[in-house]
């Protein structure tokens, strides 16, 4: 993984540990596609849970591994704009219980009994991971001074 640029005031791993949305960018039939998804940054990879039934982004990964991921932390009241963009390759891989739990607890909390029922138990035949391996990374702090009206 080559970090082309990093102007963040925090370590890249610390930024990627935040429970933000990632945006998975793909091309299908010559047309751009983007999917906002939950993710886990682990082992220098982005792990995304994907529903294999009726979700086209999973099929696109299988057809074309070249993908991009963008993660943005934005707060209009403070002017914080931090962005990480990655280009690389993705594959579909089997779920592992421990990694699924680590990903879901970032967004749903520590207690699976309190999670939305859709996520309580994921069927490994229906759900898989998208395993995104970045080739290049650009991390930028593009924060601004907010107006007084914010």
**Has residue 149 been placed in a domain?**
no
pLDDT single digits (tens) 85-123: 999 999 999 998 899 999 999 999 999 999 998 887 888
Tell me what the mean pLDDT of segment 134-141 comes to.
Answer: 98
- 30 Ramachandran zone, left/alpha/beta (phi>0; psi -120 to 50): left
Domain span holding position 42: 2-139
Query: What predicted TM-score, i.e. pTM, was given to this entire model?
Result: 0.91
**Has residue 150 been placed in a domain?**
no
Q: What is the CATH number of the domain that holds 53?
A: 2.30.110.10
**Has residue 100 been placed in a domain?**
yes
pLDDT at 13 over 90: yes
**Has residue 148 been placed in a domain?**
no
User: What's the CA gap between 71 and 43, in Å, rounded?
Assistant: 17
Q: What is the DSSP string of 73-134?
A: EEETTTTEEEEEEEEEEEEEE---HHHHHHHHHHHH-S-GGGS-HHHHS--TTTEEEEEEEE
**Has residue 146 been placed in a domain?**
no
Instruction: Give the total number of structural domains in the chain.
Output: 1
**Has residue 145 been placed in a domain?**
no
**Has residue 18 been placed in a domain?**
yes
Tell me what the mean pLDDT of segment 69-74 comes to.
Answer: 98
């Amino acid at each position: 993984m080559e970090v082309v640029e990093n102007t963040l005031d925090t370590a890249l791993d610390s930024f990627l540990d935040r429970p933000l949305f990632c945006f998975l960018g793909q091309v299908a039939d010559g047309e751009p596609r983007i999917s906002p998804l939950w993710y886990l940054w682990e082992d220098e990879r982005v792990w995304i849970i994907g529903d294999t039934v009726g979700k086209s982004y999973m099929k696109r990964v299988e057809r074309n591994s070249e993908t991009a991921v963008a993660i943005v932390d934005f707060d209009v009241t403070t002017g914080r704009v931090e962005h990480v963009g990655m280009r690389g390759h993705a594959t579909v891989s089997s779920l592992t219980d421990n990694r699924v739990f680590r990903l879901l607890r970032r967004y749903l909390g520590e207690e699976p009994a309190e999670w939305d029922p859709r996520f309580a138990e994921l069927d490994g035949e229906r759900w898989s991971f998208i395993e995104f391996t970045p080739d290049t990374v650009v991390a930028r702090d593009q924060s601004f001074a907010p107006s007084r009206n914010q």
